[in-house]
Chain A
């Protein structure tokens, strides 16, 4: 279906910072003058469950929930979660995949196998995958804790928000002592796609 509404799905595992990242995106959308809605799964986030956060913005947004085949961009903090939610992409949509694996207990206890070659599976379906080794880049910035801000920097290349609003929102929403580090991580992530 064709909508003027833009759909961003941020997915990951409980504890990875999906909720804070999606709060930043919705705040940036609000400050950029859009109508915006967001839906998030509560209750599972503390217990290593799959955490999807749906963000929709545009002139007027009705439903807060994205359907399969509608997402313009998916930002996946973890590889298995990228695969789980990839069918939510619209034709021509893009998926940013952070190269990190978090094994579910069914895998660590030997009952399940973690799928191999996730990026290749997605590319085989002609999906445009942007692969990011978030941890490596975050370490270069100086702290592995800024992975999520770095990934937001990558994501910002696909959204319609002015850079100065991103910067003012991050400044406002992250703790003061980590502010400069987060801003640096955002710029680093943004620059990764400039080529």
Chain B
């Protein structure tokens, strides 16, 4: 039976891996890639894990490939930076079972501190790259990647962008087929780059393999020409192909499914029949530079921005002259209504970060003569960089808060007015914070590290990690003990605090910053959303007692609102939304007039 299903691009990649008989998949959560592994965990035949970080996940998939099974590793664009170390040698060594690295690029940095075009890695790794443009291709290309990975003895780079990963489309399903592969041979020289073949030979082999892949690309069905009007020709791939196809339905297209290495003969043939040639791609001029190096004249990056997504709207602007010539009437789209106000994502009611931010804010207020700098990290708490929180100085890469705080401390003079803190979540700490902390301790730093432990990977939707005591398949494990871990790294001033207990958390923090050396505060409270939504009896503001002082408003809890009631002195009183309040009690501890009480 022909079964059709609506699937996200990410779900379709997972389905492709399932149908290709993949047996081992590892990854680290990161928007927009997370759903690939989450979906794969539903297939009982496949071993899946959230690894501690992307490099580790990459190693797990490499080991599985050497062991003779098809394997996959999943991550977001920034994860490739972490995983790139083992990827370079494995791309030269080759594979046993097919190996596919899935990277999803967050173009426009919707949920990332930066955007980057990971296609460039294909060139560095000397590996072939496939790029689907919709969900059906996401599944089909995944299956194809495994066949080709084994045929050409090379891992495949599978690159998507958020518009493909997070769009749904119709996918035709097939059955799973498991392939019997050669077993692991520990004596095979190809797996021993230092003991078998010299790295220079391997590197040279990498180039020659690319030549063979180039020949394949010339005839590959996934690189196809769609002839239309030959006055205008488009070379494109991924989501921009879909946009361009809709904007210029009359044009001729060379649609590339394999974007590295490119097929020079096919491109030259296509270009020779076209009057005006355009290369349509997002971000780096990756296709463009290679095509121009073939001696082909084409327009591309000079027409578009290099950063952010290249939307269909932008393409209509770029091709407005052509569209008019083809008789299309273009209307300027209406701008948004001016009365609209923004709705930013918020920290949740009862979030431990709001409580810790408040403690830091109060410490800043008390130590007026000092400048308290907080180096941030990657997670929900990255929102603390922006208003109204303004807590974190900066946050740029996983685990980098602790190590950069240490560097900052070394740069500042001993009697400086600067106090350096670092703020990191539990999942991020386990990902890359451990070596940073070890380094700071061993090299005698003078910083205070706050590990905000909410027991999950919250920002990406609540994935488990080595500290949660559960695996992605829901099996129980012994969680790492953060306190013991820190102690073993050499932390002397180590304190565990309950962020909901304001007085104690604030005092512990005040002492920690005075300590000469590295202090670590482990602030633990479960995330209010994951693994389950928390809700206790909500609190309320007593209108008889509230003086309208506004202290509770500076927690920036989304449940605390300005009411329309005024005090006798004309100050607006606070109120609490009972539906969103989770009953954490933090505001009741802050209120100087004891006007906040739990509902009975």
Contact of A83 among B6, B339, B558 (CB under 8 A): B339
Stretch at the interface among A22-30, A146-154, A158-166, A180-188: A22-30
A17 within 8 A of B: no
A40-B166, A43-B110 known; A64 and B337 CB under 8 Å? no
Closest CB in chain B relative to A38 CB, distance in Å: 4
A133 within 8 A of B: no
Stretch at the interface among B78-86, B239-247, B493-501: B239-247
Whether the pair B168, A26 counts as a contact (CB closer than 8 A) is yes
* Residues 20-75 of A contacting B (Cβ, < 8 Å): 23, 26-27, 30, 35-44, 46-50, 61-65, 67-69
The tally of residues in B whose CB lies under 8 Å from a CB in A reads 54
Contact of A86 among B316, B337, B461 (CB under 8 A): B337
0 or 1 for each of B160-173: is its CB under 8 Å from A? (1 = yes): 00010011111000
Whether the pair B562, A110 counts as a contact (CB closer than 8 A) is yes
Residues of B within 8 A of A50 (CB): 343
Consensus secondary structure, chain B interface: loop
A38-B6, A46-B529, A110-B572 known; A64 and B168 CB under 8 Å? yes
Contact of B163 among A65, A118, A121 (CB under 8 A): A65
Cα A62 to Cα B163 in complex, Å, equals 12
Residues of B within 8 A of A38 (CB): 6, 167-169
Whether the pair A47, B346 counts as a contact (CB closer than 8 A) is yes
Residues of A within 8 A of B311 (CB): 65, 67
Contact of B170 among A1, A36, A39 (CB under 8 A): A36
B4 within 8 A of A: yes
Residues of A within 8 A of B538 (CB): none
| Count of CB-CB pairs between chains A and B under 8 Å | 150
Whether the pair A37, B134 counts as a contact (CB closer than 8 A) is yes
Whether the pair A104, B242 counts as a contact (CB closer than 8 A) is no
B336 within 8 A of A: yes
Cα A61 to Cα B249 in complex, Å, equals 12
Whether the pair A67, B312 counts as a contact (CB closer than 8 A) is yes
B570 within 8 A of A: no
Cα A65 to Cα B167 in complex, Å, equals 9
Whether the pair A114, B341 counts as a contact (CB closer than 8 A) is yes
Residues of B within 8 A of A43 (CB): 31-32, 110-111, 345, 459-460
* Residues 71-86 of A contacting B (Cβ, < 8 Å): 80-81, 83-84, 86
Residues of A within 8 A of B111 (CB): 42-43
A63-B312, A68-B333 known; A108 and B558 CB under 8 Å? yes
A1-B328, A43-B110 known; A13 and B343 CB under 8 Å? yes
A103-B561, A108-B577 known; A87 and B242 CB under 8 Å? no
Residues of A within 8 A of B239 (CB): 63
A104-B344, A110-B572 known; A63 and B169 CB under 8 Å? no
Contact of A109 among B242, B333, B553 (CB under 8 A): B553
Closest CB in chain A relative to B79 CB, distance in Å: 16
Residues of B within 8 A of A68 (CB): 313, 333-336
Whether the pair A67, B313 counts as a contact (CB closer than 8 A) is yes
A192 within 8 A of B: no
0 or 1 for each of B1-22: is its CB under 8 Å from A? (1 = yes): 0001010000000000000000
